[in-house]
Amino acid sequence: MLDAAQTLSPAVFLDRDGVLNEMVYDPTHGLLDSPRRAEQVVAVHNAKELLLELRLMGYKIIVVTNQPGIAKGTLTSSDLHTVHETLDAALAPATWDALEFCPHHPEFGVACECRKPKPGMLMKAALENHIDLSKSWMVGDGLVDVQAGRAAGCKTVLVTKLKVNVVERFFEMQGAEPDFVVRNLVEVLGCIRGELTFQKCRE
């Protein structure tokens, strides 16, 4: 519970993979996946600049990421920690205020409340960091990010290179329609600043 001297702050919740760091091709499965080793970590273009600008605007910065590789046995907690340290160094002097990750996967024995599209990571970070969710944003490259953000009461931004008419086919999913659809992190900043309208972001 907040005391009289504490006030709630706005925050920007950011997905990690595909938003802050580039995805990595996994030849075993033929898919793009999360980096599992330090040498695979490459910051997304303009990620550092986005974090620095959000900080200047007064937002707390919270990273929220599903990391089911831990449940699947393809990623160790130590390797995940190393990836986060490497990404933090790659984004310096920008940084985040908190990082939440979900290590679970429903096919591997755990039905949790933290795995996106559930809003558990956002709710936990909001409580621990005194965040006003109604004044906050969720930015991600997947519809699960949008669903988690909407469930937590945040405005949502979907970052995708797909054409909007393609993405809209999935909006009928419950809670999956974002407030904004953008192509890159520069446009993310424009949305949060109020420089881009909903329609402009979707063109």
- Residues marked active site are found at 15, 17
Neighbours of 28 (CB within 10 A): 8
DSSP H or E segment with residue 188: helix 185-193
Q: What gap in Å lies between CA 13 and CA 15, rounded to an integer?
A: 7
Q: Greatest CA separation found in the chain?
A: 55
- In sequence order, which residues have a C-beta less than 8 Å from that of residue 195 and are 6 or more positions away? none
In residues, how long is the chain? 203
